[in-house]
Amino acid sequence: MSNSSSNLDDDTADLRAATRKFVDGPVTPLLAASEAAGTMSPELLELIRQQGYSGLRIAEEWGGKGLRFSQFCAVLEEFARLGPTLHFWLTDSIGLTVQRLGTPAQKEKYLRPYAQWQLRGSLAFSEPEAGSDASAIRTRAEPRDGGWVINGRKHYSSRAESAHFVLVTAKTDAGKGARGGITTFLVDRGTPGFTVTRTDESMGSRLHKLAELGFEDCFVPADAVLGEVGQGFAAAMSTLDDGRLAVASTCVGVASRLLELMTEHVKTRRTFGAPLSDRQGIRWMIADSVVEIELGRALLRESIAKLERGQPIGANASICKLHCSEMVNRIADRAVQVFGGMGLIRGVLVEQLYRDVRFLRVGEGASEIQRMLIARSVLGRPGREGD
């Protein structure tokens, strides 16, 4: 069986080793304290920033680290030893969208401080009646007096309750669907008419909060448009391949930690006079977990290599995301089963991870959406073409 450092260049292997030492050292107690308090510790975020883990994918010219994607995924895997919670702080998906589509002025205003974690952003895309179906969004933006007026409601926006700005998708041409009729806007916190109407805690980490946002006659200037008018769907989707591979990397990291925990437990836990590791059923759980993790690593290696060569990865990102998110949930379930009653107790890591990983089958496109995209890549789109 390969280990997590195999097939890595020296720089990436060194980065992985340093990250593991950092995560297993000062990060662990600070994250645990944050979870207990239900709010992210500013001390932890500042420590992570000082150690050079902010703006990992942002270009150096804008204050980021400019890591290659393989290096970035190695970092994600190591932070995922504590669960997927810090994934949202590390992935830079909002900043990458601004980097790809923003004007120089927008990059100076948002991207440079974002890369240093001085500003936080959030994507306001989903709505009560429009999740994966982008063409169904009801939020509208109408041109008025040198700008736009936004009206509508968004929900399930990750960390929007504390964001300094949000990327808001809104229909700007009711006669067109997702491709051509949607525009993305940069909306600052405090803009009149923009409010956070509710904040919900998710079933996993107390630090992963989802906000509902309201827009009522919210005026933004013309230079708040991100990219081109009518190209908002492309703006929102522009980082999905990267995002899905990032989620897959986090899944592999969590699954690897769960395997470690199971392996340690079955070697020391004795039942009926013998260690659990002697039980065939237990050994098969371990073996199945090893196989599934290694398959995930292989899928990721292939996709990341193609991405770094500038080749289109097609359905590979969906395949990785589907396999790895389903895989980590199966392994989390096995871990709880192996730990027995202990695995059900709050405060035991396998119980926490069991709850934490459930959202990974939903975020960045639910498993059902990934299956649809994979099937479409083979069979084509059923029925008539459309949005």
Q: What domain count does the chain have?
A: 3
pTM of the model: 0.92
- Position 159 scores a pLDDT of 87
Within 10 angstroms of residue 362's Cβ, the number of other Cβ atoms is: 15
pLDDT greater than 90 at residue 241:
no
Are 177 and 280 found together in one domain?
no
Whether the CB-CB separation of 125 and 238 falls below 8 Å is answered with no
What pairing do the DSSP bridges indicate for beta strands 165-171 and 121-124? parallel
Tell me the mean pLDDT in the region 50-70.
96
Residues 287 and 351 in one domain: yes
Q: What is the pLDDT of residue 383?
A: 52
Which CATH number do you get for residue 294? 1.20.140.10
Residues 231 and 246 placed together within one structural domain of the fold:
no
- How far is 269 from 275, CA to CA, in rounded Å? 6
Per-residue pLDDT at 55: 96
Residue 165 lies in a domain: yes
Please check whether residues 218 and 243 belong to one and the same domain: no
d(CA 20, CA 17): 5
Contact between 221 and 184 under an 8 Å Cβ cutoff? The reply is: no
- pLDDT at residue 386 is higher than 80: no
pLDDT at 295 over 90: yes
Q: Is 281 inside any structural domain?
A: yes
- 87 and 204 assigned to the same domain: no
- In whole angstroms, give the CA distance from residue 51 to residue 23: 11
Residues 225 and 309 placed together within one structural domain of the fold:
no
CATH number for position 66: 1.10.540.10
* Residue at 4 is within a domain: no
**Spatial CA neighbour of 84 closest among 256, 212, 261, 241:** 256
Nearest C-alpha neighbor of 297 from the set 340, 253, 263: 253
Q: Does residue 385 register a pLDDT over 60?
A: no
Q: What confidence score (pLDDT) does residue 7 get?
A: 57
> Could you tell me if residue 384 is inside a domain?
no
Return left, alpha or beta for 367; rule: phi > 0 is left, psi -120 to 50 is alpha, else beta. Answer: alpha
Contact criterion met (CB below 8 Å) for 358 and 204 = yes
Write down the pLDDT at residue 4.
Answer: 53
Residue 2 lies in a domain: no
* CA dist., res. 62 & res. 327, Å (int): 36
Predicted confidence band at 133 (pLDDT cuts at 50, 70, 90)? confident
Q: Look up the CATH number of the domain holding residue 225.
A: 2.40.110.10
Give the single-character DSSP code of 279.
-
Q: How far apart are CA 90 and CA 27, in angstroms?
A: 14
Task: Compute CA distances 234 → 56, 60, 100, 317, 365, whole Å.
Answer: 23, 25, 11, 17, 15
292 lies in a domain?
yes
The set of long-range contacts for 27-30, using a CB threshold of 8 Å and a minimum separation of 24, is 27/79, 27/82, 27/86, 28/82
Same domain flag for 231 and 253: no
Residue 155: CB atoms within 10 Å = 20
Domain boundary among 96, 115, 134: 115
Provide the pLDDT confidence category of residue 368 given band limits of 50, 70 and 90. very high
- Give the DSSP per-residue string, 124-166: E--BTTBSS-GGG---EEEEETTEEEEEEEEEEEETGGG-SEE
pLDDT at 284: 97
- 309 & 336 share domain: yes
Question: Is 150 a member of any domain?
Answer: yes
Q: Is residue 256 within 8 Å of residue 77, measured between CB atoms?
A: yes
Residue 1 lies in a domain: no
Residue 338, pLDDT score = 96
Say if CB 119 and CB 107 are below 8 A apart.
Answer: no
Q: Are residues 69 and 141 in the same domain?
A: no
Arithmetic mean of pLDDT, 302-313: 92
Last residue of a domain, which of 199, 215, 236?
236
Structural domain of 254: 239-379
Indicate if 111 and 38 belong to the same structural domain: yes
Residue 248: which pLDDT band, with cuts at 50, 70 and 90?
Answer: very high
What does the pLDDT look like over 64-118, one tens digit per residue? 999 999 999 999 999 999 999 999 899 988 999 999 999 999 999 999 999 999 9
Q: In this predicted model, what pLDDT tens digit does every residue of 1-28 receive, in sequence order? A: 445 545 567 789 999 999 999 999 999 9
> 150-159, 227-236, 260-269: which has the minimum mean pLDDT?
227-236
SS3 of the chain: helix, strand, coil, percent, to 5: 55, 15, 30
Average pLDDT for 230-240: 78
Asked if residue 192 and residue 111 are part of one domain, the reply reads: no
Q: Which of 115, 149, 182 finishes a domain?
A: 115
* Same structural domain, 107 and 35: yes
Tell me the pLDDT band of 384, cut-offs 50, 70 and 90.
very low
What confidence category does residue 342 fall into, taking pLDDT thresholds of 50, 70 and 90? very high
The pLDDT assigned to 157 comes to 92
